[in-house]
Structure 1
């Protein structure tokens, strides 16, 4: 069995000890399959159905065509090891938009290089991102894009310049409400913000009082 946050812990190395104690403890839990639920104060893409035009190239499990506030969501993960022994984390994010549920999937794994993880996005893993992991002064996990590529069959196309996508994610801890916080934004130098979400979540194994969807708005921002 692999720790639920093994890929991040391996990438961070000694720096992992600077994570907030609650985050470090949750990442260290041994769990092959896991789930968490929460509420996004804001989630989705403002491009709507236009974003779906890229589906034939990118494939399913990545493009989001809705945008809303107070969006309930669920995260399902599977932790494991690659053939090379590197920690892996397969994730399915379920966005429960009003009138429709959409999914974003990815497979993340440690690379063996300090601070670096690789993420293959979508069911077909055609969008591949190298991300740098670090710890903020507040003990949150920060992930920032280092390189992006599109893989089509045997071809790998590096996305640079106006084609580049920058992803910034901060996964923190809300001390007052004892829950994780999440803040992600993917931006294009030409299109601006193409996908965003921010809110809170809790793992299913934690006992906590019920919180209404409207409560997400007051604590969704993550200190950076």
Structure 2
């Protein structure tokens, strides 16, 4: 059996002990398949349907064409091992926007570099990212992009300069509400914030009846 947070524990090494006790305990739970649900106070892209222009390049499971507040969401994960034995974590995030349900998927893999994870995003895996894991002074997990590349056929193009994408994610703990918190922002030097979400969630065994309530009514996109 694999711990649900094995990929993060492996990347952090000894620094994992600095995580908030609740986060650390949840990461150590043995669960190869897992799910969590919560509500984003804000989620999506302010560029709306213009974001869909990138679909032919990156494919499904990456672009979000809606922006809304109080968005119920669900995340399903599968922890495992790569062929070389390194910890992996595949995730599928479901955003229940009013009138539409959209998804983002990715697959994290531990690298040989301490603190660095390799992330393949989207169903077709055309976007790759190296992310640095660290622990904040409050005991939250922080992940920041160090390099982003786009795969087009056999070519791998590193996104630099005005094409650069910076991703910053903080996964913390709310002592008052006894639940996880999440905040992610992806920015570009020219366009500013291209995708963001922030809110709270609980794993399936701790989910409140209000988590994931009022799902959207649209088709999967």
TM-score scaled to structure 2, two decimals? Answer: 0.94
Aligned residue for 2:205, secondary structure, equals coil
Distance 2:212 2:155 in 1: 44
Deviation, 1:151, is 1.1
SS at match of 1:71: strand
Q: CA deviation at 1:112?
A: 2.4
* Counterpart residue number, 2:169: 169
| Structure 1 position 97 matched with structure 2 position 97 | yes
Cα offset, 1:210, TM superposition: 4.0
CA contact (8 A) 1:22 1:173 kept: yes
Match of 1:146 in 2: 146
After TM superposition, the runs of 4+ consecutive aligned structure 1 residues lying more than 2 A away are: 208-214
Q: Does residue 125 in structure 1 map to residue 125 in structure 2?
A: yes
CA RMSD of aligned residues (A): 1.3
Distance 2:57 2:210 in 1: 39
Provide, for residues 33-61 of structure 1, a one-character-per-residue CA deviation record: whole Å limited to 9, x for no partner: 10000000000000011000000000000
Whether 2:185 is the aligned partner of 1:185: answer yes
| Kept in 2: contact 1:11–1:112 (CA 8 A) | no
Residues 8-87 of structure 1: matches in 2 within 5 Å?
A: 8-87=8-87
Q: Is the 8 A contact 2:201 2:211 kept in 1?
A: no
SS at match of 1:205: helix
CA distance in 1, matches of 2:151, 2:211: 41
CA deviations over 1:173-218 (Å, ceiling 9, x no partner): 0001110000000000010000000000000012x6544789xxxx
Aligned length, in residue pairs: 213
Please give the secondary structure, in 1, of the residue aligned with 2:25: helix
Unaligned runs of 5+ residues in structure 1 are 215-224
Distance 2:105 2:68 in 1: 19
